[in-house]
């Protein structure tokens, strides 16, 4: 497992093995994607977002009716109106 030290400015050097595996070079950008609380993935911005497909589990959701959607919108509008 590769590691890094955070400096006073909040910066860390990505180890060479990880940079190589991600195909990173000087000037490239990276994204930090939260997988779950306390776990992140580094994604090279020089790659397609399509490479993320399948990495996240999809929770099965029951389809919602138009009536349920409208009721949720009304509930949310009431909450915002009360806070506003």
Give the C-alpha separation, 24 to 47, whole Å. 10
Number of domains, the chain: 1
Supply the range of the domain harboring residue 76. Answer: 16-83
- Give the model's pLDDT for residue 48: 61
Within-domain flag for 2:
no
Within-domain flag for 39:
yes
Within-domain flag for 1:
no
Within-domain flag for 6:
no
Give the C-alpha separation, 78 to 61, whole Å. 25
Within-domain flag for 4:
no
Within-domain flag for 10:
no
CA 31 from chain center: how many Å? 8
Does the reported pTM lie above 0.85? Answer: no
Within-domain flag for 44:
yes
5-56 pLDDT, tens per residue? 999 999 999 999 988 988 888 888 888 888 888 888 888 887 566 666 666 6
Longest dimension (CA), the chain: 54
């Amino acid at each position: 497992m590769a590691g890094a030290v955070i400096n006073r400015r909040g910066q860390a050097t990505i180890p060479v093995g990880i940079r190589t595996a991600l195909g990173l070079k000087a000037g490239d950008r990276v994204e930090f994607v939260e997988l779950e609380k306390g776990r992140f993935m580094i994604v090279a911005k020089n790659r397609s977002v399509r490479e993320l497909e399948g990495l996240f589990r999809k929770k099965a959701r029951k389809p919602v009716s138009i009536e349920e959607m409208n009721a949720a919108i009304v509930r949310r509008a009431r909450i915002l109106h009360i806070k506003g």
